[in-house]
A = this chain, B = another copy of it.
Amino acid sequence: MKFAVLVQEGPYHHQSSDSAYQFVTAAMDKRHEIIGVFFYHDGVINSSKLADIQADDRNITKRWSEVGEKGVDLVVCIAAAKRRGINDDVLAPGFRISGLGQLTEMAIKSDRLVTFGA
């Protein structure tokens, strides 16, 4: 099936991004197509390559970049990103900044859209 995922919260602060990641990887293992992950609200902070994570913790941004490497579209909402100091200069590999139209497309084209938020 075609899955899309909406992430509404920032990394580490809330578990939402962790849960979304676990869900996405489990769905990919089951050969579902992930047509996109949309990062909204504080979710945009997941895309910052400036995050400097201790070796004994998971690196949330890097995990998402690895998902992106497998061909999943990681879309960061531009309006939400601007408010939180996220721009192209700080974007980790695999993420792209775009508009809410992309979320609309995901809503229309997916069989399932799952929201992870707080």
Contacts and interface: CB of A to CB of B under 8 A. Distances in A.
Contact of A82 (B42, B53, B89): B53
A106 to B, nearest CB: 22
Given A85-B90, A90-B85, A10 B50 contact: no
A70 interface: no
Interface residues of A, number: 23
What is the count of identical protomers in the complex?
2
30 contacts: A10-B10, A10-B45, A11-B83, A12-B84, A13-B41, A13-B42, A13-B84, A42-B42, A45-B45, A45-B84, A45-B85, A48-B84, A48-B85, A50-B85, A50-B86, A50-B87, A50-B90, A51-B82, A51-B84, A51-B85, A52-B82, A52-B83, A52-B85, A52-B87, A53-B82, A53-B83, A54-B82, A61-B85, A85-B90, A90-B90
